[in-house]
Chain A
């Protein structure tokens, strides 16, 4: 093995790639475009934080009671959750106008406060008419959920106010000598009528889903996976054909270097190119707020470069298989791009496999390249431990060795055929 020849291929491929604008676009710009699209279009900032509902209100209440329609609207306007207003209230003069805006999608919900609302709430039960925009099941669920949650809370507080008022009367008029009827006991009982079950809700957020930074982390790796796949495929598929077109293959085959220097040099060059662009993509991911965590002092984090290496070598190995049907480097490039994008969408690299139909999910779960990308995701996005990824790592390494070995055999056969042809 002539290491100088290996280095010559490595250096030449890296240099010529970084001098080629088209290559730079596909290797660096394209994944960045997808990361940016994800961060600002697919999962825009604000996703997953408190939603502000646009609510239209028709207030027909003219009660003079302290808690009337006007007061209710004031509460709506002042309700703040996690620093954000829960409602953006717009007043309407008629129910028809309100309904019209709801139909046009300008409002998420509407409230009609009937006349006498304040009086009824004070002396009995008030009534509210609620209109919910329900263009699809999930907006319906969100809109009605937020509103009914709010109304429950308001009702609960009103109950407490009414209980306290009642208690004052009870204390005043009920003989305190009566056995077992202490005002505390009565209060407890009344509160129990108003609030039979007091629930507390604690939020549990698994890191694997739905937090925007984690999702961005997932998709950053998706973009890197996509780029690795089509670039690696292309490097493999064009490995011989490109050298033939450049006229280097003849010279190389006449040199003391055997074909292995070309294979190893170009593969190493490909790895350098892929890893450099992966690092650039990871930095962009970090900048747009993706959850990406890597520390050199964390031993398990060192599996990331190993997974990256397997991803690169595996993609190039698969590319070598494609070289069987690549007659020109142009053909190799179109085939690699097409197949790369296809696998990206069907094998759980860009689209989460949960989105895929079940038969395709089987493919995504068994596509070795996806294992390597998921390995990186598991570590840098979800901070998995050794034990969580040991199997994945083993599977990835074995698959890489097998695929690259097959690729090498195909490569060697083609070199031999070139001399014999």
Chain B
């Protein structure tokens, strides 16, 4: 079985409103799959169907080779919903033991898993306090721990890093990569472009209840993104033409944008930059500024929807 998740022509309507409008998705095993979309795009709705919380109005989802309604399948899925689902009056330990119980994990095993996961996310020392005293970020991390207690094969995270500061976000990313390292499949919904791009082996961009593009971030950018831009500012004014000429000789098209400025559009800037600096060096030109602007998934989104990501949210 190659796919952890296969979703076909999924439609979900809420009293006439189509939250999902024919979604197809296949997630290979052992990868991190990013589901990127602005608020209201339908990420949580899609995830609810994949984890079996909600039934599709049409279409079907096959998860880990079975139906997400099958308890045997469910026991192999870890789900971190968007709302954390923690009891405010109980301590972190009590909340986590509760979820361990729900998944039938016995206390001893749960304790070991909690210690490992909680220290990994830096929440271990807070577990004795009642959750009502936790900051939002702490709750978020506790909620991630709760999803992993039964060592699931497929982990579905709905915006795991919303509200986390950068250093903590990094810890969560490390944890997610670690899961992939252990052969787990991770489906990650996010509205952070950076997160999808950095973490996702594959990414689907979802908007208005439809998946508008899928592929690895690199593929998506090269397919839909504009070319990368290399911008060079030289120390001496007036030497721009000299450099442009030399570059043209190597088949690199550069256009002057000022006395000392040059701009190059290309697909693969990483290969080009050493070449350009080499040529400049041989010509005895000194580069003051060299800037590479690569396309991001944001550009992909803009290209596909005509909207900037996060503006005019659906």
Contacts and interface: CB of A to CB of B under 8 A. Distances in A.
Contacts of B146: 251
Contacts, number: 94
Nearest to B50: A254
Given A8-B102, A16-B90, A256-B72, A247 B85 contact: yes
- Interface centre among A11, A253, A255, A419, by most chain B C-beta atoms within 10 angstroms, is A255
B53 A256 contact: no
Interface string B68-90: 00011011010101011111011
A224 B83 CA distance: 37
Contacts of B97: 8, 11
Nearest to B57: A420
A256 B71 contact: yes
A4 B87 contact: no
A7 interface: yes
A311 B32 CA distance: 52
A5 B104 contact: yes
A150 to B, nearest CB: 64
A157 B269 CA distance: 129
A259 to B, nearest CB: 12
B108 to A, nearest CB: 12
Given A5-B102, A8-B98, A421-B14, A15 B74 contact: no
B94 A247 contact: no
Contact of B89 (A5, A11, A19, A258): A19
A20 interface: yes
Contact of A254 (B77, B87, B94): B77
A418 B55 CA distance: 9
B236 interface: no
Interface residues of B, number: 34
Interface string A235-246: 000000000001
A152 to B, nearest CB: 68
B158 to A, nearest CB: 9
Contacts of B102: 2, 4-5, 8, 251-252, 255, 257, 261
A108 B146 CA distance: 74
Given A8-B102, A12-B98, A253-B53, A247 B83 contact: yes
Nearest to B146: A251
Contact of A258 (B71, B100, B106): B71
A365 B77 CA distance: 52
B89 A20 contact: yes
A4 B85 contact: no
B173 interface: no
B85 A16 contact: no
Interface in B81-130: 81, 83-87, 89-90, 94, 97-106, 130
A246 B98 CA distance: 13
Given A15-B94, A247-B81, A254-B77, A419 B54 contact: yes
Contacts of A19: 89-90, 130
A254 B55 CA distance: 12
Contacts of A261: 102
B101 A7 contact: yes
B48 interface: yes
Given A16-B90, A247-B83, A419 B98 contact: no
A420 B48 CA distance: 11
Contacts of B53: 250, 253-254, 419
Interface string B43-61: 0000010011111000000
Contacts of B48: 250
Contact of B101 (A8, A249, A258, A421): A8
Interface string B154-191: 00000000000000000000000000000000000000
Contact of A255 (B14, B54, B74, B90): B74
Contacts of B81: 247, 250-251, 254
B148 to A, nearest CB: 12
Contacts of A7: 101
Nearest to B107: A4
A19 B132 CA distance: 12
A275 B201 CA distance: 55
Nearest to B97: A8
B94 to A, nearest CB: 6
A252 B101 CA distance: 11
Contacts of B54: 418-421
A254 B89 contact: no
Contacts of B103: 5, 255-257
A250 B53 CA distance: 6
A420 B101 contact: no
Given A8-B102, A419-B53, A420-B55, A248 B87 contact: yes
Nearest to B73: A256
A1 to B, nearest CB: 11
Contact of A2 (B83, B94, B104): B104
A7 B53 CA distance: 22
B85 A248 contact: yes
Nearest to B99: A251
B126 to A, nearest CB: 17
A250 B146 CA distance: 13
Nearest to B51: A254
Nearest to B75: A256
A419 B77 contact: no
A5 B104 CA distance: 6
Nearest to A416: B55
Contacts of B104: 2, 4-5, 256-257
- Interface centre among B48, B86, B89, B106, by most chain A C-beta atoms within 10 angstroms, is B89
Given A5-B102, A420-B54, 19 more contacts: A4-B104, A4-B106, A5-B103, A8-B99, A9-B98, A15-B89, A15-B94, A16-B90, A246-B86, A249-B85, A251-B79, A254-B74, A254-B77, A254-B79, A255-B102, A256-B75, A257-B71, A257-B103, A261-B102
15 contacts: A2-B102, A4-B104, A5-B101, A5-B102, A8-B98, A9-B98, A15-B94, A246-B87, A247-B86, A248-B85, A251-B102, A254-B81, A255-B102, A261-B102, A419-B55
**CB-CB nearest 9 A-B residue pairs:** A8-B101, A247-B85, A247-B83, A256-B71, A256-B75, A254-B51, A254-B79, A256-B74, A250-B81
Interface of A: 2, 4-5, 7-9, 11-12, 15-16, 19-20, 246-258, 261, 418-421
